A and B are shown apart, each in its own frame.
Chain A
Amino acid sequence: MGYKAQFHPGTSDPSKNRKKYMDPAYKLQKIRSVSDEDVVRVLGHRQPGEDYKSVHPPLEEMGEPECPIRELVEPTPGAKAGDRIRYVQFTDSVYFAPISPYQRSWMYSYRYRGMDSGTLSGRHVVEARERDVEAIAKELIESETFDAARTGIRGRTVHGHALRLDENGIMFDAMQRYVFDKSSGEVKYVKNMVGEEVPAPISVGKPLSEAELKKRTTIYRADGITIKQDAEVLQMVQNVHWERSFGGFEPFKEAKF
């Protein structure tokens, strides 16, 4: 087949980044490392080293009915073991965060199996089996889609994505889950996703510079790259708009831009 998916229209930087993140063949760049225990502590669903709680016996012991779909689809490790459903939620600032909730939904759909994602204006929640959530969270926190200052791991009190940044350039967080360490220049999580204290601060590294963020972002902004600078993206948005507005009204009419 001579067809190659382009994932997203356009040639501008945000457009290229969107294509990159959505393309499952592209391996997300790893820019920091956080240990497995620390990821578990930030999520706060269980203690590090604690067994996973399960809602049903492992699939092998259950004796599943004969079903061609079950043979076709390989269960995820969490589903195989019968884990509980747990979640991880990220808040993305409007000030050039590396990724925004809507693109997260697109990206996850291309990259992960056995998950359910929910998009809201400022935050994005993903639900999956517990060990799958941990694997997804680890990959996302370590990757280029996470910035220490403009992305937050927040289970509740997520408000703040559209508020002004603070004096250190950190996104507003009413629960102060993460603090900016002035001596090392790093952002450290002192509370887990839902605001409970963690035993020791968890460092997620230094925030990226403004110039670097503008290069990595998927957000079109008036003070960065606007959507009008990318003709192909604008065309797509206008197409969608036309079809939403007139598609059900007089569908035989041709779109006119």
Chain B
Amino acid sequence: MKIRPEIQIFPFKLISKETADKITDELTRFDFVTNVSVHGPSVNSNENENYMVGWIWIEVEDNNEDVQKIIKDVCDEFLPFGYNIEVGRFTKYKKGVSDYIKGLN
């Protein structure tokens, strides 16, 4: 199994769901992006499902300078207050032992 790298965007401010959706929409247009996941604290959980976004993980086919440049351009547009970019693997990509016991796929 090929383990694809992920690019983590860490905005210097907690962004709203709407801004995160814009970034996600913009990024999923590209072929080299295979998955985008967002993570952050939830707000107002009793009434409706809403959350703030503090981390965006972009799974890409291959990490290279061109890919980084495109992602940086998108970030510069939507995150004027600054952000950090890191490359690595931040989400689960295969079954763990406890998943195996629970029978999850």
Task: Tell me if chain B binds chain A.
Answer: yes
Residues on A facing B (Cβ under 8 Å): 159, 163-167, 169, 172-176
Give the residues in chain A near B15, CB-CB below 8 Å.
Answer: 166-167
B19, CB-defined interface residue at 8 Å: yes
Give the residues in chain B near A174, CB-CB below 8 Å.
Answer: 41-45
Contact (Cβ within 8 A) A176 B14: no
A175 to B16 Cα, complex, angstroms: 15
Shortest CB distance A217–B (Å): 19
- In this complex, how many residues of chain B approach chain A with their Cβ under 8 Å: the count is 15
Give the residues in chain B near A163, CB-CB below 8 Å.
Answer: 14, 41, 54
Q: Tally of A-B residue pairs with Cβ under 8 A?
A: 37
Contact (Cβ within 8 A) B44 A166: no
Shortest CB distance A120–B (Å): 19
Between-chain CB contacts (< 8 Å), 26 pairs? A159-B41, A163-B54, A164-B11, A164-B12, A164-B14, A164-B54, A165-B13, A165-B14, A166-B13, A166-B14, A166-B15, A166-B16, A167-B14, A167-B15, A167-B16, A169-B13, A172-B14, A172-B41, A172-B52, A174-B41, A174-B43, A174-B44, A174-B45, A175-B43, A176-B43, A176-B44
**From A163, A165, A174, residue with most partner B Cβ within 10 Å:** A174
Interface SS of chain A: loop
Give the residues in chain B near A173, CB-CB below 8 Å.
Answer: 43
* Minimum CB distance partner of B12 in chain A: A164
* Chain B, range 40-82, C-beta contacts under 8 Å to A: 41-45, 52, 54, 81
Contact (Cβ within 8 A) B43 A164: no
A165 to B45 Cα, complex, angstroms: 19
Give the residues in chain A near B81, CB-CB below 8 Å.
Answer: 167
Shortest CB distance A81–B (Å): 36
A167 to B79 Cα, complex, angstroms: 9
